[in-house]
């Protein structure tokens, strides 16, 4: 079965995924990577409703703007 | 500097790891705050005496990384490389070990003189997170000391280990991350750096890695020192690496670093229970929600300001007690509010000193200069202190508890409409207490343009001093409490509308290509705030402000004294013949446009430039009354005049301390002038509109 790849902004609450790639600007990508959102990282979505998305990465919780989240491609696990 | 101390120790750590708490515990009361040279970032230093050694402790700015993404990161790494501290204490958070080790690992790549303080160990134990400290220490090849800064556990042990490293008793092992495929290119860049002696202070390998990660600061330095050609060679290597490896070098490097950490974590940590408690998750879901969270947050902030205002001026707690029928308690609250106590002290000082000076037969104008000029001047400088202090303390508690990050997330959706991100909510709401900490608070914004935008918008927020003026005027002209409330609320709404309109306007006018930065903010675990740390931080910030702005406020007070007491015929003229009155009278034609055709009203507004409270004091003084209500009756201020006066006072110009702060934070005179001009013109325009509308309607 082909792995399902979706932007992080589309991941439902409670789902888990692995970061595959980034699209878009250097600045925002760099900031996310410094926070530990690197390719291969497992991300758990704590809440995705309106406004920024809450995610858990490497034991820390982040709020991520939707625009930024749409630039992270994630393979759903 | 070094000979005054036996050792210099730097403390570094990511945000929210408890760095301030640890710094405070280590240095106790012996510390001072300043700014890093040429920067707006605060620099804290303290002294520690341990086993007879005098140790200087320097608190480095809290950063997630040592790249050059922010001013703070450059300060931190420059300090380590150029001032060569004997030891760097780097704090990791046991609750978020993997995440906080990122900075630790970067530091270890830079220097071996490191001791890792593993903070919040007690909390980790409770959560069922077990960390094998010795194994972690071996993997990192430096001492790792478990501590709890909040409960003062393990601090002695930490300092012992720091001394061990400082004295060379413990030698750090070799620490090197293998970047695999990219190592070849690191070597290539290193070679160029060595050949050109490019960035001599730093270890070439470290700089090489940074350059492959795209470090703008180092790139600029090479451009300055070695010219374009050398930099191009480095770019070329980077491009080849990207082509050969099929991925950006920066992605590979950051990922390798995180993988390295992940492998350590696997060996040293065992989880007993869920890492993030479900209550945190549920709470976060509600609090950060733009619809569900906002009412809770508004309620929280409302109570916060209730407390701040009540401590400082007695309002609105006094009203509550008055309505309940406890007149005495209401009065006691007013009389024991900070501002009332402070003004009584200065009144008393002024009387006592005037009495003493009268006895030694000094000329009148010298007595007046000392009592009405100098003492009142010092008084107005100090009157800012409780305002700033309490605002900082209460918001320090909200921030330290972890709530502020949630508030930022919840307000992001709304703030984006005026070009700001959720992070700007903190400075903006500080503004309801006092505009000065609001402008200072914009430091947390990383994007320069967002910061400038927030700096220019913050002074519109109606501060507490403006509220006291409004209260005094509204109480004198309207008796019905409901109508009073209506007027106050309308004025606040006008201010907020101006905020929204100006946010959009400034964004378009000043920064055409500007796009509001996306929110990326950590939600730290909720925790009990350390009151001790918050109070010293707030105290230091208050003092720091007084030192910086005090002289200017003081000088302006002296000038105002001169203008009020001197006239064309010298000292001792009636107030109505003073220079201040002459200037105010000459402005009557402008004031008349909005119905303010009495020179005393204009004088009050002029005086309000020093501090907004002065508007009421001036009215009282100029009318010869003893309280604001009488003053307003004696001058005969009409209903519409009062409305215009309040509206103009809300908007016309930030007080001078705020303007000074706008200048010192934006570092451009231009922005201070823009703030001054746009607020002045808005105030006059709205003043004229209100006056004429009223004339037409009634």
- CATH code where residue B240 lies: 1.10.287.1770
Reported confidence tier of residue B560, pLDDT bands at 50, 70, 90: confident
pLDDT band at B361 (very low <50, low <70, confident <90, very high): confident
pLDDT at B411 over 80: yes
Residue B464 lies in a domain: no
pLDDT at B186: 96
Residues B206 and B150 in one domain: no
Strands (E), B262-411: 269-271
Q: How far is B181 from chain A (nearest CA, A)?
A: 16
| B2 pLDDT higher than 50 | no
CB contact under 8 A, B250 and A46: no
Q: What is the mean pLDDT of residues B51-79?
A: 91
- Whether residue B79 is found in the same domain as residue B101: yes
Please, are residues B533 and A48 in contact by the beta-carbon 8 Å criterion? no
Query: Is A46 an 8 Å CB contact of chain B?
Result: yes
Closest by Cβ to B521, choosing from A36, A56, A63: A63
**Partners of residue A54 in chain B, C-beta under 8 Å:** 284-285, 288, 409, 523
User: Looking at the structure, do residues B16 and B41 belong to the same domain, yes or no?
Assistant: yes
Same domain, B145 and B26: yes
* Same-domain pairing of B133 and B201: no
Q: How do residues B391-407 score in pLDDT, each as one tens digit?
A: 889 888 998 899 999 99
Search chain A and give the residue with CA nearest B275.
A59
In a domain, B235, yes or no: yes
* B522/A47 touch (CB, cutoff 8 Å), yes or no: no
Q: Give the whole-angstrom CA distance, residue B404 versus residue B410.
A: 10
Burial class of residue A58 (count of CB atoms within 10 Å of its CB; 0-12, 13-18, 19+): buried
Q: Are residues B193 and B147 in the same domain?
A: no
The burial of B130, by beta-carbon neighbours within 10 Å (0-12 exposed, 13-18 middle, 19 or more buried), is given as middle
pLDDT at B183: 96
Residue B294 lies in a domain: no
The CATH code of the domain at A5-76 is 2.30.30.90
Residues B80 and B185 in one domain: no
List the single best residue of B288, B415, B447, B527 to mutate versus A (max A Cβ within 10 A).
B288
3-class SS of residue B115: strand
Of the three residues B230, B246, B271, the one that is the final residue of a domain is: B271
B95 within 8 A of B69, measured Cβ to Cβ = no
Q: Examine the domain organization and report whether B204 and B141 are in the same domain.
A: no
Q: Kindly identify which residue of chain B lies nearest to residue A57, measuring between CA atoms.
A: B99
A59: nearest CB among B99, B255, B288: B99
**Mean pLDDT in chain B?**
90
- Closest-CA distance of chain B to residue A19, Å: 11
Burial B502-516 (b: 16+ CB within 10 A, else e): bbeebbeebeeebeb
Distance CA B54, CA B30 (A): 12
Question: What number is the average pLDDT over the span B490-508?
Answer: 93
- Report how far residue B52's alpha carbon sits from residue B50's, in angstroms, rounded to the nearest whole number: 5
Are the C-beta atoms of B422 and B415 separated by less than 8 Å?
yes
What is the predicted pLDDT for the residue at B320? 87
B1 pLDDT exceeds 60? no
User: Residue B665: enclosing H or E segment and its boundaries?
Assistant: helix B656-666
Do residues A52 and A64 touch, judged by C-beta distance below 8 A? Answer: yes
Listed residues B271, B296, B327: the one ending a domain: B271
Q: Which of B216, B244, B271 is the last residue of a domain?
A: B271
Owning domain of residue B645: 555-697
Q: Indicate the residue of A22, A56, A65 with minimum beta-carbon distance to B276.
A: A56
pLDDT at B245 over 50: yes
Mean pLDDT of B221-236: 93
pLDDT at B623: 83
In the β-sheet with B31-35, what is the strand arrangement from edge to edge? B31-35, B42-50, B53-59, B7-13, B87-93, B114-119, B144-146
* pLDDT value, residue A74: 95
In this prediction, residue B641 has a pLDDT band, given cuts at 50, 70 and 90, of very high
Q: Verify whether the Cβ–Cβ distance A46 to B522 is below 8 Å.
A: no
Give the pLDDT of residue B314: 86
- Note whether residue B679 is domain-resident: yes
Position B439 confidence tier, pLDDT thresholds 50, 70, 90: very high
Facing B251 at nearest CB: one of A39, A49, A67: A39
Q: Which run of H or of E encompasses B396?
A: helix B376-400
Res B224: pLDDT:
93
Same domain membership, residue B190 and residue B143: no
Highest mean pLDDT (candidates B200-209, B471-480, B612-621): B200-209
User: Quick one: average pLDDT of B279-306?
Assistant: 89
In Å, how far from its chain's centre is CA B628? Answer: 33
pLDDT at B475 exceeding the cut of 70: yes
How far B506 CA sits from the closest chain A CA (Å)?
23
| Most confidently predicted of A21-35, B278-292, B299-313, B672-686 | B672-686
Strand extents, DSSP E, B447-600: 520-522, 566-567, 570-571
pLDDT-above-90 percentage for chain B: 57
Residue B115 backbone zone (phi > 0: left; psi -120 to 50: alpha; other: beta) = beta
The answer, yes or no, to whether residue B88 has pLDDT greater than 80, is yes
Hey, are the CB atoms on B285 and A46 less than 8 Å from each other?
yes
Give pLDDT, residue A3: 64
Cβ contacts (< 8 Å) between B69 and chain A: which residues? 30-31, 34
> Would you say residue B31 has pLDDT above 80?
no
Q: Which residues of A touch B275 (CB under 8 A)?
A: 59
Percent of chain B with pLDDT over 70: 99
Question: How many domains is chain B built from?
Answer: 3
Rounded to an integer, the average pLDDT of A36-41 is: 91
| Nearest C-alpha in A relative to B69 | A31
Q: Does a structural domain hold residue B522? A: no
Gap from B137 CA to chain A (nearest CA, Å): 20
How deeply is B548 buried, as exposed, middle or buried, from its count of CB atoms within 10 A (0-12, 13-18, 19+)?
middle
Is B519 in Cβ contact with A68 (below 8 Å)? Answer: yes
Q: Region B331-349: what's the mean pLDDT?
A: 87
Mean pLDDT of A56-68: 92
pLDDT at res. B258: 94
A50: closest CA of chain B, how far (Å): 7
The contacts of residue A59 (CB under 8 Å, 6+ apart) are: B95, B96, B97, B98, B99, B275, B276
Average pLDDT over residues B44-49: 91
B-chain CB neighbours of A40 within 8 Å are: 255, 259
Contacts of B290 in chain A (CB under 8 A): 50-51
Prediction ipTM score:
0.94
Same domain as B238, residue B112:
no
Q: pLDDT category, B447, cuts 50, 70, 90?
A: confident
Q: In a 3-state reduction of DSSP, which class is residue B85?
A: coil
B111 and B162 in one domain? Answer: yes
Lowest mean pLDDT among B270-274, B481-485, B646-650: B270-274
The answer to whether B47 and B39 have CB atoms below 8 angstroms apart is no
Between helix B376-400 and helix B293-313 the angle, nearest 10°, is 150
Residue B136 shares a structural domain with residue B35: yes
């Amino acid at each position: 079965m082909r792995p399902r790849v979706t932007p992080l902004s589309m991941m439902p609450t409670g789902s888990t995924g692995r970061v595959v790639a980034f699209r878009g600007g250097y600045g925002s990508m760099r900031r996310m990577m410094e926070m530990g959102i690197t390719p291969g990282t497992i991300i758990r979505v704590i809440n995705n409703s309106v406004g920024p998305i809450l995610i858990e990465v490497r034991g820390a919780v982040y709020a991520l703007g939707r625009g930024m989240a749409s630039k992270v491609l994630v393979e759903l696990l | 500097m070094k000979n005054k101390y036996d050792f210099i120790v730097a403390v570094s750590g990511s945000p929210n790891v408890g760095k301030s708490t640890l710094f405070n515990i280590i240095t106790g009361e012996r510390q001072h705050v300043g700014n890093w040279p040429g920067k707006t970032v605060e620099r804290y230093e303290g002294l520690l005496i341990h086993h007879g050694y005098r140790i200087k402790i320097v608190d480095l700015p809290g950063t997630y990384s040592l790249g050059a993404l922010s001013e703070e990161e450059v300060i931190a790494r420059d300090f380590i490389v150029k001032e060569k501290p004997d030891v760097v204490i780097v704090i990791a958070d046991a609750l978020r070990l993997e995440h906080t080790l990122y900075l630790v690992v970067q530091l270890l790549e830079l220097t071996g003189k490191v001791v890792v303080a593993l903070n919040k160990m007690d909390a980790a134990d409770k959560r069922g997170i077990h960390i094998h400290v010795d194994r972690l220490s071996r993997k990192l090849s430096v001492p790792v000391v478990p501590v709890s800064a909040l409960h003062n556990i393990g601090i002695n042990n930490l300092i012992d280990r720091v001394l061990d490293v400082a004295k060379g008793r413990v030698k750090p092992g070799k620490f090197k991350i293998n970047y695999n495929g990219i190592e070849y290119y690191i070597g290539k860049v290193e070679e160029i750096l060595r050949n050109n002696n490019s960035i001599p202070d730093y270890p070439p390998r470290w700089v090489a890695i940074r350059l492959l990660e795209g470090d703008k600061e180092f790139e600029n330095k090479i451009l300055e020192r070695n010219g374009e050609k050398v930099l191009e060679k480095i770019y070329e290597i980077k491009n080849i690496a990207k082509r050969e490896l099929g991925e950006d070098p920066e992605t590979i490097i950051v990922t390798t670093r995180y993988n390295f950490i992940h492998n350590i974590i696997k060996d040293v940590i065992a989880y007993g229970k869920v890492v993030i408690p479900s209550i945190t998750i549920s709470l976060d879901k509600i609090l950060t929600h733009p619809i569900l969270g906002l009412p809770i947050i508004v309620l929280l902030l409302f109570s916060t300001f209730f407390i701040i205002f009540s401590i400082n001026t007695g309002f609105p707690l006094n009203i509550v007690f008055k309505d309940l029928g406890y007149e005495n308690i209401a009065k006691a609250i007013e009389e024991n509010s900070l501002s009332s106590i402070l003004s009584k002290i200065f009144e008393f000082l002024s009387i006592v000193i005037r009495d003493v000076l009268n006895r030694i037969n000094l000329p009148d104008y010298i007595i007046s200069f000392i009592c009405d000029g100098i003492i009142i001047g010092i008084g107005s400088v100090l009157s800012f202190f409780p305002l700033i202090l309490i605002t900082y303390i209460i918001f320090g508690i909200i921030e330290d508890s972890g709530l502020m990050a949630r508030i930022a997330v919840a307000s992001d959706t709304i703030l984006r409409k005026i070009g700001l991100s959720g992070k700007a909510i903190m400075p903006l709401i500080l503004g309801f207490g006092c505009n000065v900490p609001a402008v200072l608070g914009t430091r947390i914004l990383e994007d320069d343009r967002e910061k400038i935008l927030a700096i220019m918008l913050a002074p519109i927020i109606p501060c507490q001093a403006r509220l006291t003026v409004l209260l005094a005027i509204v109480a004198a002209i309207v008796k019905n409490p409901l109508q009073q409330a209506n007027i106050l609320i309308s004025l606040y709404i006008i201010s907020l509308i101006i905020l929204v309109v100006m946010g959009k306007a400034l964004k378009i006018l000043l920064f055409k290509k500007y796009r509001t930065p996306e929110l990326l903010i950590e939600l730290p675990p909720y925790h009990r705030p350390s009151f001790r740390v918050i109070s010293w931080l707030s105290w230091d910030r208050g003092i720091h402000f007084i030192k910086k702005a005090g002289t200017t406020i003081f000088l302006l007070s002296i000038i105002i004294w001169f203008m009020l007491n001197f006239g064309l015929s010298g000292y001792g003229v009636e107030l109505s013949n003073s220079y201040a009155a002459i200037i105010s009278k000459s402005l009557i034609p402008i004031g008349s446009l909005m119905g303010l055709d009495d020179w005393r009203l204009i004088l009050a507004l002029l005086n309000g430039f020093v501090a907004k409270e002065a508007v009421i004091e001036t009215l009282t003084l100029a009318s010869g009354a003893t309280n604001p209500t009488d003053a307003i009756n004696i001058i005969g201020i009409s209903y519409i005049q009062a409305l215009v006066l309040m509206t103009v006072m809300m908007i016309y110009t930030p007080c001078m301390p705020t303007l000074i702060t706008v200048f010192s934070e934006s570092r451009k005179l231009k922005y201070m002038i823009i703030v001054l001009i746009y607020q002045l013109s808005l105030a006059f325009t709205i003043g004229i509109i209100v006056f004429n509308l009223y004339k037409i309607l009634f």
